Amino acid sequence: MKSPPEAEQPPPPAVATRTDHLPTPILDAERSNLIKRISEEGGYAYVSMEALAAGGDFRAAEAAREMAWEQLHSGPWNSVLPVWRDAYSMACLHVAIYHYEAGDFREALKVLDMGLIMGGTLLRQDLGSAVEIVSMRSCCVAKGCEKRGTFFSEVSQSQVLPNRSLSCKIVEKRSSLSIEGFLRDYFLSGSPVIISDCMSHWPASKKWKDMDYLKRVAGDRTIPVEVGKNYLCPKWKQELITFSQFLERILSNQCNNSSTTYLAQHPLFDQIQELRGDIFVPDYCFAGGGELRSLNAWFGPAGTVTPLHHDPHHNILAQVVGKKYIRLYPASVSDDLYPHSESMLSNSSQVDLDNVNEKEFPRAQDLDFMDCILEEGEMLYIPPKWWHYVKSLATSFSVSFWWSEHDSSEIS
């Protein structure tokens, strides 16, 4: 008599042939300390799942990641305890290891990027090292986009500019401005200036015009994007998509004038080191004995708008590809620009320069301003607290460098 057949089991995942391994999440002492802190915050279920995940249990790793994710969304982002951000990073590493072992490099990269975007600082180096290993081993080839070469330079579109544009004072332009001249004539007086002929040595000047290059170094990476006119509009939202999907949306926007998708104020160069190697921090960013605070990417199609707002730091906006219209108002007219009363938006104006409500905001009508067309290869210095409105006139890739003087007060 035959014994009953055994229940069919799903085949094990195909393991990629590798000569390298993803890093084990942090050292034992650091891991123990993190687990202790999670326990102190009541994360007993997470600790149990993490122990199983460390032993190779993929379902436990996913459960731990979901538990940490819930904690990240338990309230306002600035109220999330740092320990839960580190817990999320650790769970992401466990999950990524499973996908890597299974040869699913694209999914491993997605999980690691989520750890970089949403996680804490404790495991950032481990996450970065894992990204390098997975990227080297990845056999994924971006699909759905034939070779297009330098598509950026060919898609410039005329855009409707705000009323009175280029009618007051044009921002002064200086070629190859010396550090001494920058300090004396603009930094100390707090005056905007365009600096030309200082970016031609950046590899990004050529590489970022090539879609094939961007897809090769970043195509499978996950990035946060904004969808809609701008962050002050009701229908505005944020999404997480791959860089390849983002590039396709840019092309779709050019052809169909579809809803604008914008990679705005994202620390892309902390996330993707290949792109970081394509640019250099301008010497101007060390004026006043300062130190760099953040380095962000701004990438999107023609028509993207950053509404009128001000920032707390010195800012060099480098226009690597494409061109933008920029309008600036000094801090002295802040009250006449009707800042939002909510603390989260207090650095943004209620005045929509693309459609000014004259009855609601009468004092904003006749204010003097400075403006310019920032061309490809130029940098614009924006002093702290200067209000600025930005509109892309073509597919545009820009980099902003924020820095503060050592004696400047910290503004979060």
The DSSP bridge pattern shows strands 193-196 and 396-404 to be unpaired
Percent of the chain with pLDDT over 70: 85
pLDDT confidence bin for 257, thresholds 50/70/90? low
pLDDT of residue 29: 75
- What pLDDT does 152 receive? 55
- DSSP string computed for 343-368: GGGTTBBS--TTS--TTT-GGGTT--
Domain residue ranges of the chain, discontinuous segments joined by +: 25-142, 169-405
Between residues 62 and 29, the one the model is more confident about: 62
Per-residue model confidence as pLDDT tens digits over 176-207: 899 999 999 999 999 999 999 999 999 999 99
Q: Which string of DSSP letters, residue by residue, matches 281-326? A: --GGGGGGG-EEEEEEEEEE-TT-EEEEE--SSEEEEEEEES-EEE
**Can you tell me the mean pLDDT for 104-128?**
90
pLDDT at 15: 39
CATH code, residues 169-405: 2.60.120.650
- Confidence band of 55 (pLDDT split at 50, 70, 90): confident
CA angle 399, 292, 190 (to 5 degrees): 80
**Closest listed residue to residue 182, CA positions, set 311, 103, 101, 283:** 283
Q: What is the pLDDT averaged over residues 89-96?
A: 92
Q: What pLDDT, on a 0 to 100 scale, did the predictor assign at position 26?
A: 58
pLDDT tens digits for 133-167?
888 776 443 344 444 455 554 444 456 899 999 99
pLDDT band at residue 23 using 50, 70 and 90 as cut-offs: low
Q: Between residues 264 and 235, which one has the greater pLDDT?
A: 264
Name the DSSP class of 153. Answer: G
Q: What is the pLDDT of residue 232?
A: 86
Burial level of 344, CB count in 10 A (0-12/13-18/19+)?
exposed
Lowest mean pLDDT among 101-115, 172-186, 294-308: 101-115
Looking up tokens 């009541």 gives 42
Q: What pLDDT does 406 receive?
A: 65
Distance from the Cα of residue 210 to its chain's centroid:
20
Task: Share the mean pLDDT of the chain.
Answer: 86
Helix (H) or strand (E) holding 327: strand 324-329
Q: Name the pLDDT band for 356 (thresholds 50, 70, 90).
A: very high
Q: What's this model's pTM, rounded to 2 decimal places?
A: 0.75
230 — pLDDT class (breaks 50, 70, 90): confident
pLDDT in tens, 64-89: 999 999 999 888 877 889 999 999 99
Give the DSSP H/E element, type plus range, for residue 241: strand 237-242
Residue 134's pLDDT is 87
- Confidence at residue 153, expressed as pLDDT on a 0 to 100 scale: 44
At 72 the pLDDT is 92
Q: Hunting for tokens 């809609």 — which residue is that? A: 228
- State the pLDDT at residue 138: 67
Report d(CA 52, CA 54) in Å as an integer.
5
Looking at the predicted structure, is the pLDDT value of residue 328 above 90? Answer: yes
